[in-house]
Amino acid sequence: MCGIAGLIHRGKSSNVGRELTAMLQSLKHRGPDSTGFALYGSPKSGEHVLRFKVAEQEDMRHGFQIQHLVKERRAEVDRRLDELGATRVAVEDATDYAFRYSISYDGDMKKLADYVEDVEGAEILSIGNTLELIKDLGDAGQVSSQYGLGEFGGTHAIGHTRMATESDVDIRSAHPYWAYPFNDISVVHNGQLTNYWGSRREMERRGHRFMSNCDSELIAVYLADRMERGDSLEESMHRSVGELDGVFTYVVATADKLGMAKDVMAAKPMVLYESDEFVALASEEVAIRSVFPHEIDTYDPYEGEVMVWQS
Could you tell me the strand order of the sheet in which 98-104 lies?
87-93, 98-104, 48-53, 123-128
Q: Identify the residue among 93, 277, 302, 310 touching other proteins (CB under 8 A).
A: 302
CB-nearer residue toward other proteins: 151 or 295:
295
Residue 276 interacting with other proteins (CB under 8 A): no
Cα angle 184-185-186, degrees, rounded to a multiple of 5: 120
Residue 295 interacting with other proteins (CB under 8 A): yes
Residue 3 interacting with other proteins (CB under 8 A): no
Residue 1 interacting with other proteins (CB under 8 A): no
Q: Are residues 249 and 261 in contact, defined by beta-carbon separation less than 8 angstroms?
A: yes
Residue 300 interacting with other proteins (CB under 8 A): yes
Q: Identify the residue among 4, 143, 288, 307 touching other proteins (CB under 8 A).
A: 288
The site for other proteins, by CB under 8 A, has a size of 18
Residue 242 interacting with other proteins (CB under 8 A): no
Q: Identify the residue among 247, 255, 286, 308 touching other proteins (CB under 8 A).
A: 286
Stretch that binds other proteins, among 4-12, 58-66, 193-201, 261-269 (CB under 8 A): 261-269
Q: Using omega within 30 degrees of 0 as the cis cutoff, is the peptide bond preceding 301 cis?
A: no
Residue 233 interacting with other proteins (CB under 8 A): no
Active site annotation includes 2: yes
Q: Write down the least CB distance from residue 214 to other proteins, Å.
A: 25
Q: Identify the residue among 83, 106, 276, 297 touching other proteins (CB under 8 A).
A: 297
CB-nearer residue toward other proteins: 204 or 300:
300
Identify the active-site residue in 1, 2, 45, 180. 2
Q: Identify the residue among 92, 166, 243, 303 touching other proteins (CB under 8 A).
A: 303
Residue 151 interacting with other proteins (CB under 8 A): no
Q: Using omega within 30 degrees of 0 as the cis cutoff, is the peptide bond preceding 269 cis?
A: no
Residue 271 interacting with other proteins (CB under 8 A): yes
Stretch that binds other proteins, among 142-150, 181-189, 222-230, 259-267 (CB under 8 A): 259-267
Q: Which residues are designated catalytic?
A: 2
Residue numbers at the binding site for other proteins (CB under 8 A): 264-266, 269, 271, 284-286, 288-289, 293, 295, 297-300, 302-303
